[in-house]
Amino acid sequence: MNMTKPHLVQAQTSGCVITVSQTQPVLDSQNKNRTTPESDKKPSYHPAANAECDGQWSCSGVILDRNLGIVICQGAVFFPFLKKNENDFANPDCKVLFANDLPSDLLIQVESSIQSDISTKYGGHVLDDVLQPQSALGLVPMSKSKSGRLQQQAQLLILLPCPDFQKAFSKLFNKEEGWVFSSDEEKNEYGEFQKDLAYLHWFAILKLQNPLPNTHKMGIMDSSKLVKGSTVYACGSPFGSFYTDIFLNTISKGVLSNTAGDRNVVLLTDARCLPGSEGGGMFLSTEGVLHLIGIIVAPLCWKTNEWVGLSVACSLSHILDNIGKVLGGKELALKNELRTLHLVDHQMCKNMGTVSSEHLMASVVLVDCGQAWGSGVLLSPNLVLTCRHVLRNSLKVSVKIYHPKISSGRQTHEWYQAIKGRVLFATQAFSPYDIAVVELEETIPGITEPVLASGYCTGEDVYVVGFGALGDRCGPSVTSGVLSSVISVGNVPVMLQTSCAVHGGSSGGPLFSAESGKLLGIVASNTRDNCTGATYPHLNFSIPITVVQPAIQRYRQYGDLRSFGELNKAGHAIQDVWRLQRSPGKVVQSKL
């Protein structure tokens, strides 16, 4: 029996795939160039990269109102067909485009999940084909599809940008740091970062040829209510219109890792998304009710060739607000079509699992040695635990404490308090335990000291909190996962492995238990394949807090730092663990 968790049914029934093409494309058998100049151009950013698109462009979408047949998706799939110059839409003065800005023979098809017995009632075409071999993914057909998929035509109502998103996105991800939002293959074929940026903040509103049966009204959460660390779900269709029999409306789960911009217009999540998911929805469930909070714009991102493992979305409430601003007092049918899309003004439950996210965030700091930055955790109002390599041999550092500012129930902006600190202790370079202790020149009032864990449970839900990748451009990021493994030497835990996404800048940040909120460890590294240079953010290692707990307690009680010196006396077995080796000479040296 095929079942979906009740609170996720609406996410899947609202998901769809949009395919855009011209009804009369003329393809040359040799070079497949289209005959019209407008459609001869490939877009700089292609949300579902495929070299054999043959004039068809696709992405995911969300059905906002089934009764009215209103659909939203990313606007990039329409730009290959624009009559205007491709640079026009990147002009800040270009605030809206309509159907007459595109060829009259444009065909827009929307494919969604629906029961086959009602498909004829709603005028669509049910797809229930035998799976064909697809060489691109190496799929081998096993059986006939059992699920009906309804495909019907749609019309374009409006194409418009979200300026607030573009403004915040540009500040958060600058070109100089090597941010890329497509793979090397996509980048080589479809364009570089600056052109990618021009597409990301555009969205399309469509209307289906026929309405769909209504199950529940879509709730839309105001982004200003969102709290980092909340559980979120992403629903999109990897690879767009290709292989929808398998990938249509795929669900992934994660947390709201970070937000940026006015009223949280930019949303980041560690929920796993794939190319073609652009235009899909990001959802949040509260009190059993599912709310749509954002539209996915970039499922993958890299920083200086390091995969970050986060997906970027744009707040839906900002998109809807912008529609109202653009239309203004104009008497357009579109205003009536969209007037039912009201925000749900529920106050978010401020928790992360069963633990207060504010409580965990408040203990995390950014450690800046002038050459680079890392993360740290406040053990007390004036004591920070971090990693040795974050300090770069510095004796003094700047510790930045993040303070979000709340105004009239809405987060307007944030600021950092910078406090000087001196290094009390750092392990020697030969020690496998990459630990340092920093004392602040001023105390931080109101900080609740984290509770140190005394044991570990493999498989438990965990969070990593830190300033990886984004630095101080916004507050600390949260990534979720499980405690994948507890590695012990002589029954003593010496290393923790998790599946959370960890990036450069996360080092020294805390690893928390999602259930208890206890401090489990300090993030020390993720994994790099030295042969290929590939980095794996979801394979990372932390130093168990039980390793340093005796020294911390002694320092708290007596102000004695000598116990930290025991970390330099770790034996060869522990050193081999942190080198990812067994006994030297018995195995080939690890390439990680």
Active site residues: 389, 434, 507
3-state helix, strand, coil in the chain (%, to 5): 20, 35, 45
Structure token digits, residue 137: 């993914």
- At 592 the three-state DSSP class reads coil
Q: How far apart are CA 481 and CA 494, in angstroms?
A: 20
SS (H, E, C) 329-367: CCCCHHHHHHCCCCCECCCCCCCECCECHHHHHHCEEEE
Nearby residues of 396 by Cβ (< 8 Å), 6 or more positions away: 420, 421, 422, 423
* Contact assessment for residue 314 and residue 202, using Cβ atoms and an 8 Å cutoff: no
277-303 burial: b if 16+ Cβ within 10 Å, else e: bbbbbbbbbbeeebbbbbbbbbbbbbb
Q: How far apart are CA 36 and CA 140, in angstroms?
A: 37
What's the residue count for the chain? Answer: 592
Numbers of helices and strands, H then E, in the chain? 11, 29
* Contact assessment for residue 363 and residue 378, using Cβ atoms and an 8 Å cutoff: yes
Q: Given the structure tokens 């001869």, which residue do they identify?
A: 40
Q: How far apart are CA 537 and CA 557, in angstroms?
A: 37
Structure token digits, residue 141: 């057909």
Q: How far apart are CA 519 and CA 377, in angstroms?
A: 9
Q: How far apart are CA 555 and CA 570, in angstroms?
A: 20
Q: Given the structure tokens 């912008």, which residue do they identify?
A: 322
Phi, psi values for residue 6, rounded to 5°: -50, -40
Using the 8-state DSSP alphabet, how is residue 589 labeled?
P
Q: How far apart are CA 196 and CA 181, in angstroms?
A: 7
231-236/250-260 β-pairing: antiparallel
CA geometry: angle at 58 spanning 32 and 232, to 5°?
155
Q: How far apart are CA 537 and CA 501, in angstroms?
A: 5
* Contact assessment for residue 258 and residue 478, using Cβ atoms and an 8 Å cutoff: yes
* Contact assessment for residue 404 and residue 352, using Cβ atoms and an 8 Å cutoff: no
Q: In 45-91, which ranges are E strands?
A: 57-65, 70-74
Reported as type and span, the H/E element at residue 437 is: strand 436-440
Q: How far apart are CA 345 and CA 317, in angstroms?
A: 11
Using the 8-state DSSP alphabet, how is residue 78 labeled?
G
71-108 burial: b if 16+ Cβ within 10 Å, else e: bbbbbbbbbbbbeeebeebbeeebeebebebbbeebeb
Q: Given the structure tokens 């909340």, which residue do they identify?
A: 230
